[in-house]
Every structure is written in structure tokens, then in C-alpha cells.
Amino acid sequence: MISLKTYKEFRETLVGEKPQDSWPLALQSLWWAAKGDWDASHNIAQDLHTKMGSRIHAYLHRVEGDEWNAGYWYRKAGKPFPHTNFEKELNDLVAHVLKI
């Protein structure tokens, strides 16, 4: 069960050392991404064989600067390549996971 309702509440959890184990893996991956731990986030995202996993994977490769690889993952997720900043995309991803 996720007690978080908003992106602001999600951001407030970043003072911790790790995400809550009870959170869905997608949210845990996004938490690590928000903390700046690309590897920890990627390790989770690459094992999420869902459209959301592909979206997170795409976001991570975009952050990394690998637009070709990011484009592949956006296509797998059925989403267009975004032309927003990273913070906006992270906000949108977190908001989507919180609504699931």
C-alpha cells in the first residue's frame, strides 16, 4: 500500500536512506532515480517487464544522455520521446505510479 498521494510527498521521502520495501518496484526505481542513483534505479527498471518499466528505463537512458537507447525504450512503452525537462518527466512518472 502506498501512503503517498502527491509528487511533493514523494520528494519529502528522499531524505531517507532507501525507499520503502512495501512500495511497488516502479516507485522504488523512481525513488533511486530521484536520489541520483542511476545504477540502483536501472537495476530495478530493467527487471520490470511492463510498459511502466519500459518508460522508467527510457527516462533513465535519456538522463544518461543515450537518446538512441532511450528512444528504443519509449517505443517499447508506446510513448513518444518527451521534450520536457527531466524533473517534469520524473514528476509525471511518479504521479502515474501513485494513481495505479
Calculate ∠ Cα 19-35-65, nearest 5°.
130
pLDDT at 89: 97
Given pLDDT bands bounded at 50, 70 and 90, which one contains residue 100? low
Structural domains counted in the chain = 1
Quick check: is 90 in a domain? Answer: yes
Q: Are 11 and 31 in contact (CB under 8 A)?
A: no
Instruction: For 45-91, write each residue's pLDDT tens digit.
Output: 999 999 999 999 999 999 999 999 999 999 999 999 999 999 999 99
Given pLDDT bands bounded at 50, 70 and 90, which one contains residue 2? confident
pLDDT at 1 over 80: no
Domain span holding position 50 = 7-99
pLDDT at 69: 97
Quick check: is 2 in a domain? Answer: no
Question: Which residue intervals of the chain are DSSP H helices?
Answer: 7-12, 25-35, 38-45, 51-64, 67-77, 86-99
Calculate ∠ Cα 84-76-23, nearest 5°.
75
Quick check: is 1 in a domain? Answer: no
Q: Are 38 and 59 in contact (CB under 8 A)?
A: no
Q: Is 56 helix (H, G, I), strand (E, B) or coil?
A: helix
Instruction: For 17-37, write each residue's pLDDT tens digit.
Output: 999 999 999 999 999 999 999
pLDDT at 3: 83
